[in-house]
Amino acid sequence: MFRPSTDTDLKRSSATVLVLALVAESPRHGYEIGKLIESRSGGAITFNMASLYPLLYRIERRGWISGDWRERAGERRRRFYRITPEGRKVLAAQRGLWRGFVRALDQVVRFEEH
């Protein structure tokens, strides 16, 4: 069976759009982002947590997301990532790119025929 979770190339290229799409909905912390990717893809896409955080830092460094610490009494403080206006533009562009790519791929390989 094809398992995208093992396909690192595919994962690496789609990681940015995955993160941006999730934090565009609402601010989320790193653990939640990892969990959501896994649950929404039905377990097909999983991230090694040790590489998720560097990814978040890298995207933050580009200015597409920004992280803020939130503290609540009696709880460990946690870092929430929110999308920036520039990140929204990137997300829109990436969505278009992937949609077009998937459609084009479908034209060639006909996902539903088999």
Q: Which residues bind another protein (CB under 8 A)?
A: 29-31, 35, 48-51, 53-55, 57-58, 60-63, 69, 76-79
Residue with smaller CB distance to another protein, 50 or 109 = 50
- Shortest distance in whole angstroms from residue 41 CB to another protein: 17
Cβ atoms of residues 69 and 78 within 8 Å: yes
Residue with smaller CB distance to another protein, 29 or 95 = 29
- Shortest distance in whole angstroms from residue 26 CB to another protein: 17
How many of the other CB atoms lie within 10 Å of CB of 99? 10
Residue with smaller CB distance to another protein, 76 or 103 = 76
- Shortest distance in whole angstroms from residue 75 CB to another protein: 9
Residue with smaller CB distance to another protein, 57 or 101 = 57
Dig out the tokens for 8 from the structure.
Answer: 């690192």
CA gap 88, 2 in Å, rounded: 32
Strand, helix or coil for residue 72: coil
The CB-side HSE value for 60 (13 A sphere, CA atoms) comes to 15
The amino acid that residue 36 corresponds to is L
